[in-house]
């Protein structure tokens, strides 16, 4: 148990960037925290934190130990929480990464409801489209929208996102008619991403992928921006329904080539394969499954 408390102290030292603040966090004497850090460095025969006058830097060895130690400490805390507090309110930290626009436009109210139901869970939500490193950044769960989930992560499909091509009626009235995919070459195509030579994939009636390549008229990493560009009559964009649905209902945009099939993307709940789901994670996962399972537009 002494080694565990040494590791817990080290995690607190790194998290709080100081021995005094770590002692306050742990509710023990500053000298006790300093002694535990010294014991760890003696045990492993290496300096974990460079703490010369005016310097406070976690060494490479210290960074590696921190990544391992925090998982050990969390695992022990989760066992305590799961088995000693089954009837109590769920509490503790929970960090989640969600795609920015899906999170804000679709999950926003559900995330607030979850926090309201579980006020003692210290929820941290990172709205970002980048691929976070769940282990190194200590992210418990991530929601990802993709056609192919990451094979090195544990993934559960919890919903479906469908895409269509959208344009404004004004734009279509001023440009050549669209009757087949090849007609898209005569139009201004707006692309989600930065590729100078882009492509969209469509599914043929026989289930094969048909790649349509083009040079984008406009690029952006924001689906909401592309929707506004479509609204303004700038061109045609491939957009997820969760972004375009409201504008379509109000006839600000219409579907282009509506009989053309675009492959669905899955909504996946992912976590590190070696990460055991604690009660907080299970509660969040169950809530997101309920929210996303019906997200299967026609």
Q: Six-digit token pair at 62?
A: 């210290």
Q: What is the pTM of this model?
A: 0.67
- Same-domain pairing of 142 and 112: yes
Do 252 and 168 lie in one domain? The reply is yes
Q: How many CB atoms lie within 10 A of CB 196?
A: 9
31 backbone dihedrals φ, ψ, rounded to 5°: -65, -35
Q: pLDDT value at position 199? A: 93
CATH assignment of the domain containing 236 = 3.40.190.290
Over residues 58-109, the pLDDT tens digits come to 888 888 888 888 878 777 776 666 665 555 667 888 999 999 999 988 899 9
Last residue of a domain, one of 36, 53, 84: 84
Q: From 65, 84, 103, give the residue that closes a domain.
A: 84
297: in domain: no
**Model pLDDT, residue 297:** 43
Do 167 and 156 share a structural domain? Answer: no
Question: Does residue 122 fall inside a structural domain?
Answer: yes
- What total number of domains does the chain contain? 3
Instruction: Answer whether residue 298 is part of any domain.
Output: no
Strands 141-146 and 92-98: parallel
State the residue range of the domain holding 101.
Answer: 92-160+265-292
Which of 56, 84, 112 delimits the end of a domain? Answer: 84
- Domain match, 12 and 152 both: no
For residues 251 and 285, membership in a common domain is answered with no
Q: Are residues 99 and 231 in the same domain?
A: no
Segments of the chain scoring below 50 in pLDDT: 1, 295-298
Asked if residue 137 is part of any domain, the answer here is yes
Structural contact between residues 16 and 7, judged by C-beta atoms closer than 8 angstroms: no
pLDDT at 136: 78
- Nearest C-alpha neighbor of 236 from the set 263, 204, 260: 260
pLDDT, residue 138, reads 80
Do 175 and 248 belong to one domain? yes
Residue carrying structure tokens 């130990």: 65
Listing from the earlier edge strand, what are the strands of the sheet with 92-98?
121-127, 92-98, 141-146, 265-272, 153-161
Q: What is the pLDDT of residue 219?
A: 97
Contact in structure between 13 and 20 (CB atoms under 8 Å): no
Whether 218 is in a domain gets the answer yes
Task: Tell whether 127 and 104 lie within a shared domain.
Answer: yes
Residue 288 confidence (pLDDT): 93
Q: Are residues 144 and 211 in the same domain?
A: no
Calpha distance 286→95 (Å, rounded): 16
Residue 97 domain-assigned (yes or no)? yes
Q: The domain spanning residue 279 has which CATH number?
A: 3.40.190.10
Question: Residue 27 maps to which CATH number?
Answer: 1.10.10.10
3-state secondary structure of 8: helix
Task: Answer yes or no: do 78 and 140 share one domain.
Answer: no
Please indicate, yes or no, whether residues 178 and 250 belong to a single structural domain of this protein: yes
- Integer Cα distance of 153 and 168 in angstroms: 40
> Same domain for 245 and 198?
yes
Q: What is the pLDDT of residue 151?
A: 84
């Amino acid at each position: 148990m002494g080694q565990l408390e040494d590791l817990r102290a080290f995690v607190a030292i790194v998290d709080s960037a100081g021995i005094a603040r770590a002692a306050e966090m742990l509710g023990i004497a500053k000298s006790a925290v300093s002694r535990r850090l010294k014991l760890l460095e003696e045990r492993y025969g290496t300096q974990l934190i460079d703490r010369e006058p005016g310097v406070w830097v976690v060494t490479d060895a210290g960074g590696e130990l921190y990544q391992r130690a925090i998982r050990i400490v969390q695992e022990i805390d989760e066992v305590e929480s799961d088995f000693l507090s089954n009837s109590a309110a769920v509490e503790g930290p929970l960090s989640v990464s969600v795609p920015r626009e899906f999170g804000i436009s679709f999950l926003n109210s559900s995330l607030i409801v979850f926090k309201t139901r579980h006020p003692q869970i210290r929820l941290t939500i990172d709205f970002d489209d980048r691929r976070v490193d769940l282990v190194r950044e200590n992210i418990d769960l991530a929601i990802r929208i993709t056609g192919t989930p990451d094979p090195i992560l544990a993934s559960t499909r919890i919903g479906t996102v469908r895409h269509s091509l959208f344009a404004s009626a004004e734009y279509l009235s001023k440009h050549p008619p669209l009757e087949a995919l090849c007609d898209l070459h005569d139009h201004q195509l707006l692309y989600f991403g930065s590729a100078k030579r882009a492509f969209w994939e469509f599914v043929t009636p026989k289930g094969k992928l048909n790649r349509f390549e083009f040079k984008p008229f406009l690029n952006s990493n924001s689906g909401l921006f592309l929707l506004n560009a479509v609204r303004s009559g700038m061109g045609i964009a491939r957009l997820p329904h969760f972004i375009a649905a409201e504008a379509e209902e109000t006839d600000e945009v219409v579907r282009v080539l509506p009989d053309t099939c675009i492959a669905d993307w899955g909504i996946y709940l992912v976590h590190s394969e070696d990460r055991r789901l604690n009660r907080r994670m299970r509660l969040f996962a169950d809530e997101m499954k309920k929210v996303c399972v019906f997200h299967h537009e026609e």
